[in-house]
Amino acid sequence: MRNFDAFIFDIDGTLTSTNELIFASFNHVAEKYLNKKFTNEEIISLFGPSEEVILKSWMKDYFEEAKKDYYNFYSSKHSEMVDVYPGIIEVIRLIKSKGLPLAIFTGKGKKTTEITLKFIEVDQYFDMIITSDDVKEHKPSPEGINKFIDHFNLQRSRVLMIGDSPADILASKKAGIKIASVVWDSYAKDEVLSMDSDYIFYTVDELKEFVKKNI
């Protein structure tokens, strides 16, 4: 019996191990232009708006140069710092094989989203890709989820968001959909586990078995 008709995935910490690269990319430009280094926690506290919004608030007069340096560093370091989580592409292919609508909803900007999805070779599987550049209000606003639901005329009770962050949980609940929190590489694992997710998955294999039984 199919319980879900559509799926939404986050990227960082859900599909691929990009969190350390994000921290390194921000610090690459912070050290160059601000002579300063931020802790992971300080960078995490800024998550929500796209990288460009954060950089603009930091850099002021050096924004254009810093933006270029950020993207160059982020793109060039994928081969040494980024891995797709084993088995997650099989989960995506499984959903796609059933012809179900499949989306990305991420706090990343459009450019970094394109870089990462192409690098891990999954961009072609998604029917809709919603980034922070595509919404007026970023996560934990449900705006991105609502765009997907409205576009495909979906029943909210039959849509599942899969993500690793507290913002994914809050956005899903505000949108009235189910949330599956994955904690195999969450930067906020303890906080996520303390929240009221509909489902918790500690491994990709657990998620894969769940998806098999629900599509």
Please state, as a whole number, how many other Cβ atoms lie within 10 Å of the Cβ of residue 163: 29
Q: What percent of the chain has pLDDT over 90?
A: 94
The pLDDT, as a whole number, for residue 60 is: 83
**Separation of alpha carbons 88 and 119, rounded Å:** 14
CATH number at residue 122: 3.40.50.1000
pLDDT digits (tens, 9 = 90+) for 174-212: 999 999 999 999 989 999 999 999 999 999 999 999 999
Same domain, 147 and 119: yes
**Domain limits at 168?**
6-16+84-214
Mean pLDDT value across residues 12-33: 96
pLDDT digits (tens, 9 = 90+) for 57-115: 999 889 999 999 999 999 999 999 999 999 999 999 999 999 999 999 999 999 999 99
The pLDDT, as a whole number, for residue 61 is: 87
Q: What percent of the chain has pLDDT over 70?
A: 100
Residues 6+ apart with CB under 8 A from 28: 69, 70, 73
Asked if residue 73 belongs to a domain, the reply is yes
Domain boundary among 33, 62, 81: 81
Instruction: Give the torsion through C-alpha atoms of 103, 20, 141, 126, to 10 deg.
Output: -10
Asked if residue 1 belongs to a domain, the reply is no
Same domain, 130 and 185: yes
